[in-house]
Amino acid sequence: MRILDVGDLIGITDFFVLASASNDRLLGTVADEVERRLKDAGRSPRRREGTKDTGWMLLDYGDIVVHAFTEEQRAFYALERLWSDAPVVAFTDPAHAG
């Protein structure tokens, strides 16, 4: 997972969260889990686009836009390259914190 601070570059959102999964079934699980955890935090997406079958899903929370991809689609869209001027936000996954 990578978090890009795009606020100064595009002005319509503050952060892109880029996540990937090894297959379309896991992609759906990733998007569902993001949505569930943010719902638990009192947030609901303004819109949800894409499906697991397309290899790309988007959850728009206004200030945060989550892009979830299959690994193949993430390489194809190459958002890290497209937004290479965006600072990367440090992130530690609490599930893997020691």
Beta bridge partners of 68: 19, 57
User: What is this structure's pTM?
Assistant: 0.90
Domain 2-84 maps to which CATH number in 3.40.50.2000, 3.40.50.150, 3.30.460.10, 3.40.50.2300? 3.30.460.10
Q: Which of 72, 63, 93, 60 is nearest to 27 (CA)?
A: 72
Specify whether the CB–CB gap between 59 and 11 falls below 8 A: no
pLDDT in tens, 35-61: 999 999 999 999 999 999 999 999 999
pLDDT in tens, 1-29: 999 999 999 989 999 999 999 999 999 99
User: What contacts 24+ positions apart, CB below 8 Å, involve 28-32?
Assistant: 28/52, 28/57, 30/57, 30/68, 31/57, 31/59, 31/66, 31/68
User: In the chain, where are the structural domains located?
Assistant: 2-84
